[in-house]
């Protein structure tokens, strides 16, 4: 027997996530990047020197998927790879000046999207929602 409230919650969370992804995807297209590329650039900006494997782990993606995306970002002049001083086989990832400029534009997209997400909520309602959602746990 299913719990109708749990199903409603699941449906609402899915709808919110899909709606947010749609907004970010559409706005990212105007910058010439995908949502995943935009998020990747943001992570590299926040963690200069991160390696490809760490990105794959962070996004729960296969190494080959991340590798292809990074090749495109590198080709377009947003990312550069440098040999790690600790391990010659690893390449650290850094943003170029062009990449940093793009991250600033991408951050504006995320800020606008996130503001739209909570525009009809009071600060107290937002905090209550955050507190409540943090109690949700799925089995591993």
Determine which helix (DSSP H) or strand (DSSP E) holds 69, and give its type and residue range: helix 63-75
Give yes or no for a contact between 105 and 32, defined as CB atoms under 8 angstroms apart.
no
Q: Which CATH class is domain 8-121?
A: mainly alpha
Give yes or no for a contact between 54 and 63, defined as CB atoms under 8 angstroms apart.
no
Tens digits of pLDDT across the chain (140 residues): 578 998 999 999 999 999 988 888 888 888 889 888 998 999 999 999 999 999 999 988 888 889 999 999 999 999 999 988 888 788 899 999 999 999 999 999 989 999 999 999 999 999 999 999 999 887 77
Q: Which residues make Cβ contacts (< 8 Å) with residue 112, sequence separation at least 6? A: 27
Whether the model pTM is above 0.85: no
Determine which helix (DSSP H) or strand (DSSP E) holds 54, and give its type and residue range: helix 52-59
């Amino acid at each position: 027997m299913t719990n109708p409230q749990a199903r409603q919650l699941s449906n609402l969370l899915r709808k919110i996530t899909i709606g947010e992804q749609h907004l970010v995807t559409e706005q990212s297209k105007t910058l010439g990047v995908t949502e995943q590329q935009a998020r990747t650039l943001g992570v590299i900006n926040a963690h200069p020197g991160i390696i490809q494997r760490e990105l794959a782990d962070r996004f729960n993606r296969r190494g080959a998927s991340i590798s292809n995306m990074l090749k495109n970002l590198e080709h377009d002049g947003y990312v550069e790879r440098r040999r790690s001083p600790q391990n010659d086989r690893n390449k650290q990832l850094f943003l170029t000046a062009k990449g940093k400029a793009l991250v600033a534009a991408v951050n504006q997209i995320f800020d606008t999207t996130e503001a739209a997400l909570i525009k009809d909520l009071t600060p107290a309602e937002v905090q209550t929602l955050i507190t409540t959602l943090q109690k949700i746990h799925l089995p591993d």
